[in-house]
């Protein structure tokens, strides 16, 4: 073999070996949710796996990154994946309150990056949540351009482009969402995008009357807190699904809507049974240690997992029990 041919052969061999080793390095662990289901897609109103079979993701949402940054680490994510059996985690990047993404984007990325990459490493799905109540279009476009560029090749990634557009009309939320969908799709053509709607993600009837057109693999979020939101919200969601609206419960709790007050254990089980019967995916709020009902951990709980039952508040124990039972 001549020297130029030998050099070309060795270069090609090295490149092939690099690609193979890279694939192995980033392959989802055997029997993990991502290894089993692969790239997700929406078929009709159903979240489905790469083979077109229905998928139900169940997991937990971290609290605001700028309030509980200590839980934004790879060890906590691994614990949620292995001990809690989460098939999805939600990283809630705060746009409001102090030290938020708008004021301190570097710190936000220091929090979000280990969570996203630990989810990928552990073979679970991750919701990259733009956790805002007000509208920040420029910031959202910049952020999701970065996220899609860096992580869009991974099947683990789900984009939540506006957590809760509380006091906006659907026409404005829709226009924002169409702009963000276009931004993401220019880079990532097919990972799931979650779209919010007015009044704490509960106005799905408005979405059903005027849905986003010409967009694939999008779902609309619904949020509930079981001790407050009664059967009317389930009925409204059922009606939207019947009209062709795919729904993902990206945030839910067993407390009252304030995040505090009574823990509605009975109502939580009613909601879970309803979600299971409709094959609706969900993430429970929140992995945090605030002195309120919907926070799952006591302040003395470690930042890195290894949470025994005595470190879990009643809501944390209820969520873990539900996940372990359903994500067998």
Active site amino acids = 164, 251
Sign of the CA dihedral with 83 first, then 114, 201, and 254 last: positive
3-state secondary structure the chain: CCHHHHHHHHHHHHHHHHHHHHHHHHCCCCCCHHHHHCCCEEECCEEECCCCCECCCEEEEECCCCCCHHHCCHHHHHHHHHCCCCCEEEEEEECCCCCCCCCCHHHHHHHHHHHHHHHHHHCCEEEEEEECCCCCHHHHHHHHHHHHHHHCCCCCEEEECCCCCCCCCHHHHHHHHHHHHHHHHCCCCCCCEEECCHHHHCCHHHHHHCCCCCCCCEEEEEEEECCCCCHHHHHHHHHHHHCCCCEEEEEEECCCCCCCCCCCHHHHHHHHHHHHHHCCCEEEEEECCCCCCCCCECCCCCCCCCCCHHHECHHHHHHHHHHHHHCC
Distance of alpha carbon 48 from the chain centroid: 15
Residues 192 and 20: their CA atoms lie apart, in Å, by 27
Positive or negative CA dihedral for 160, 163, 168, 170? positive
Q: How far apart, in whole angstroms, are the C-alpha atoms of residue 178 and residue 158?
A: 16
Q: Closest Cα partner for 253 from 242, 265, 245?
A: 265
Residues 271 and 254: their CA atoms lie apart, in Å, by 9
């Amino acid at each position: 073999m001549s020297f130029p041919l030998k050099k070309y052969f060795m270069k090609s061999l090295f490149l092939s070996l690099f690609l193979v080793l890279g694939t192995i390095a980033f392959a989802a662990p055997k029997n993990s949710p991502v290894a089993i289901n692969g790239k997700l897609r929406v078929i009709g109103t159903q979240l489905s796996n790469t083979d077109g079979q229905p998928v139900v993701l169940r997991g937990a949402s971290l609290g605001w990154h700028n309030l509980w940054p200590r839980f934004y680490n790879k060890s906590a994510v691994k614990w949620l994946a292995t001990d809690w059996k989460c098939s999805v985690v939600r990283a809630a990047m705060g746009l409001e309150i102090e030290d938020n993404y708008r004021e301190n984007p570097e710190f936000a990325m220091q929090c979000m990056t280990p969570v996203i990459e630990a989810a990928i490493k552990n073979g679970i799905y991750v919701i990259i949540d733009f956790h805002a109540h007000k509208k920040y279009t420029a910031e959202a476009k910049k952020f999701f351009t970065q996220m899609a560029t860096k992580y869009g090749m991974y099947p683990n990634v789900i984009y939540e482009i506006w957590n809760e557009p509380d006091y906006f009309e659907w026409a404005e939320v829709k226009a924002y969402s169409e702009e963000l969908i276009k931004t993401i799709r220019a880079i990532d053509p097919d990972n799931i995008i979650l779209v919010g709607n007015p009044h704490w993600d509960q106005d799905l009837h408005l979405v059903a009357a005027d849905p986003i057109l010409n967009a694939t693999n999008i779902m609309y979020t619904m949020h509930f807190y079981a001790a407050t939101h009664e059967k009317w919200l389930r009925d409204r969601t059922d009606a939207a699904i019947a009209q062709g609206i795919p729904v993902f419960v990206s945030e839910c709790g067993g407390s009252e809507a304030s995040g505090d007050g009574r823990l509605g254990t009975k109502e939580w089980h009613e909601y879970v049974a309803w979600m299971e019967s409709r094959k609706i995916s969900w993430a429970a709020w929140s992995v945090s240690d605030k002195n309120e009902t919907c926070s799952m951990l006591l302040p003395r709980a470690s930042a890195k997992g290894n949470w025994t039952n005595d470190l879990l508040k009643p809501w944390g124990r209820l969520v873990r029990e539900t996940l372990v039972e359903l994500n067998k």
